[in-house]
Structure 1
């Protein structure tokens, strides 16, 4: 096996797809590589003529290069290799005009494209609210790609975090599949970096919030796999939202596996080296991508940028970009060290978690003077002039929510050992589960179940002493015989909450207070944090 640090572009293609025949000898190999790399620089419709002429009648070289080019085309189906700032290309989709009815949604306008689909602004006729509808492109209608599209909805809908876009539903209307999600007014980080980059400290706060969002996804067993500035949105209110879980991967020890383990998915500039050679992605691939984003924020240029997808992948695997301090002398050395640890080629030596990135970014930004709450509010009038881009400030760092984490332990049978489950698993009636809860600072933990009929406090248990802790373990819960989705809110509070302290069903004024809290938690509640866990059972 070839070590990634010495892998050439042509060898990468072989690693990505596998050679179909005997390896060429040294002379042939050199010529194959030369012809292939030159052909990749040409438009696709000119490559065949060029390769035939350059092969000079050598059938083995001609067959090898053509075989590799076929694999490049196959790989390109799953790799997003559009250059930054390139105009949006026309997608092969059912174009829908304003007024078109899709299920109970009325199309307002087309607002963009991302991942596998076109995105429309639509009005929900049932709830009278605006929503963003991602509609599956017609060219992505194979069974595998429909499953990928459905998995995006399932993966993202399983996550409830202030910095992750909210998914309303995955629906079908005739032959059209769509995902309905919250409509966000704002700009992507890609647009921000290209058009109007704010000060570095504010960019690092965006990165910190992004790390918190991905930490929540990783804790739920979900790897994004396509993290890039175009998938990070800064809302008009200054909040950060991670978008587009279109190629997200669900990781679980319960046996659920992706059907696409051998596909190369993602965007080359932000793709981890191990993913580029077909190894399965885990949380460390997202960490590499965030390291690339941090580099781009700090140096105002990308660490890896080739002429095309394959040459970019070659840089990702073979080149070590200069430290950011050599490009931007104002960058703190601690930030340079953090980026270096994110971009390590060997994922086993890479930084281990998004929580660690968030903590280090907090330390880097924290010493800077913080803006007062009064100044932050007054700064709203200066946004257009660039004085306070989207309201991101050090004040937000000083008053941030804690990093709330959870793990799910499930047990199928008393005779079997518990295993770590993912929120996307499907559980069976009679199975048990419990939650391991933790936060980056001590507080008070609560768990609340929610249905349309009732809300009930299921943790802490009766008689349990109320004292601040950094981690705790709930009791075991059993799935009943009624199939459906169990909605469990995990709540952390800086101070004890008397209305959550007593276990059991909440009634009357207490029920109204609990429901109000659950509605407010996604947007943020001072001194509190919460995450919704949704578990499917049958």
Structure 2
């Protein structure tokens, strides 16, 4: 065992993943009957799968991470078995910053880069094709995009135990934490969306859709600069990383085409920006429910609620509502067409 990573039989792990993939979106009764049939007397196998499903369900109920039929929760289970290394090459690891669908992020020190955010994924998990593609793609994205609204990537590398991405450490506050304090003032809320539009316009012009725009993927640094993070499920137009029908994203922010498992492009980001715009000005998400299926039903079949007449600081929100109506159109071909257009419309209001 190295760094506390249990060496698991790969065939057994693949078998567990295949069962998890089938059961992730099924009802409790279906899960029970299926496990009765597949696991038979193998109680350890059943406990492992049930633990993965319980973790998967908990993440979804908290609306904190990806919907992952095949990949993310097993990856996190592998990560959870890691004994935190004190160092990795020249990086001295200080503390954990957070966990996400594609690994754990640590605060680390490096003699050349000073403090960095070091994102690690166990190599055992990275050997899964989809995980490897997604982790490598994020490194490729960060290396190709250069913008003050993004976390700068210093390097990506692998060791015997990990795949790693070393990124700029952003000393700031998550937008989700800011929203918990209440609606943002009119100008601040719109300027955050404008900042995100600028970053996403750069990505979109390079054929890249982020696909997981949400408040806890946005940080505000100490200078007030908006920073978009986590490209773990982003997709280039010329890649085929996601199988048809696979659903990735965060429930309340996902576009109708993401829920349908159809082809997803940059217009899904426009939908998610609309969700965030509503959230910034009201401190609430427009589509919420007790479980992800009910959220999906609302997104697919219900109209979003209207904004209040005025913002928390008394500004007229009727012009913003007109823009929001164009962002939250369910058919992507009829949605507001680009971040450039969104910027132009919002820019007239601030």
TM-score bin (small chain): 0.7 to 0.9
Q: Report Cα offsets for 1:162-191 as digits up to 9, x if no partner.
A: 111111222111121111110000111111
Q: Distance in 2 between matches of 1:251 and 1:305?
A: 30
In 2, distance between residues paired with 1:343 and 1:151?
28
Partner residue of 2:337 out of 349, 352, 358 = 352
SS class of match (2:150): coil
Residue 273 of structure 2 corresponds to 290
- Give the structure 1 partner of residue 203 of structure 2: 217
- Residue 104 of structure 1 and its aligned partner are, at CA, apart by 2.2
Q: Is the 8 A contact 1:116 1:140 kept in 2?
A: no
- Aligned position for 2:32: 48
TM-score calculated relative to the size of structure 2? 0.76
CA distance in 1, matches of 2:178, 2:258: 28
Deviation of residue 92 (structure 1)? 3.8
The structure richer in strand per residue is: 1
Q: Is the 8 A contact 1:188 1:229 kept in 2?
A: yes
How far apart, CA to CA, are the structure 2 residues paired with 1:45 and 1:138? Answer: 35
* 1:85-117 Cα deviation digits (max 9, x unpaired): 89xx985415454x7121221111111112311
Shift, 1:341, TM fit: 0.5
**CA–CA distance in 2 between the matches of 1:266 and 1:122?**
28
CA change 1:289–1:348 in 2 (3 A) is same
Unaligned runs of 5+ in 1: 1-19, 21-36, 53-69, 366-538
Greater per-residue helix proportion: 2
Is the Cα–Cα contact under 8 Å of residues 257 and 332 in structure 2 kept in the other structure? yes
- Map 1:120-199 to 2 at 5 A: 120-125=106-111, 127-136=112-121, 140-141=125-126, 142-195=128-181, 197-199=183-185
CA RMSD after TM alignment: 3.2
Per-residue deviation, residues 223-262 of structure 1 (Å, max 9, x unmatched)? 001110010110011111100000000114xxx4435444
The alignment partner of 2:249 has SS state of: coil
Specify the SS of the correspondent of 1:312.
helix
- Residues 47 and 173 of structure 1: CA distance in aligned 2, closer, same or farther (over 3 Å): closer
Q: 2:227 aligns with which of 233, 241, 254?
A: 241
Q: Distance in 1 between matches of 2:180 and 2:106?
A: 24
Aligned equivalents of 1:48 and 1:259: distance in 2? 28
Whole-Å separation in 2 of the counterparts to 1:212 and 1:233: 15
Which gives a bigger RCO, structure 1 or 2 (Cα 8 Å, sep 6+)? 2
The C-alpha deviation readout for 1:42-75, integer Å capped at 9, x for no partner, is xx589638xx9xxxxxxxxxxxxxxxxx9xx99x
- Deviation at 1:120? 0.2
Alignment size in residue pairs: 297
Distance in 2 between residues matched to 1:240 and 1:332, nearest whole Å: 22
Give the structure-1-normalised TM-score. 0.51
Q: Counterpart in 1 of 2:19?
A: none
SS in 1 for 2:155: strand
1:198 Cα shift? 3.6
How far apart, in 2, do the equivalents of 1:166 and 1:306 lie? 36
Distance verdict in 2 for CA 1:242–1:128, change over 3 Å:
closer
Where does structure 2 lack aligned partners over 5 or more consecutive residues? Answer: 1-21, 37-48, 66-72
C-alpha offsets along residues 395-435 of structure 1, whole Å, 9 cap, x if unaligned? Answer: xxxxxxxxxxxxxxxxxxxxxxxxxxxxxxxxxxxxxxxxx
Question: Is 1:321 the counterpart of 2:300 in the alignment?
Answer: no
For 2:77 and 2:324, the matched residues in 1 are separated by 35
Residue 78 to residue 216, structure 1, CA distance change in 2 (3 Å): farther
1:37-436 aligned within 5 A? 44=28, 48=32, 81-83=60-62, 92-93=78-79, 94-97=81-84, 100-125=86-111, 127-136=112-121, 140-141=125-126, 142-195=128-181, 197-252=183-238, 256-325=239-308, 330-365=315-350
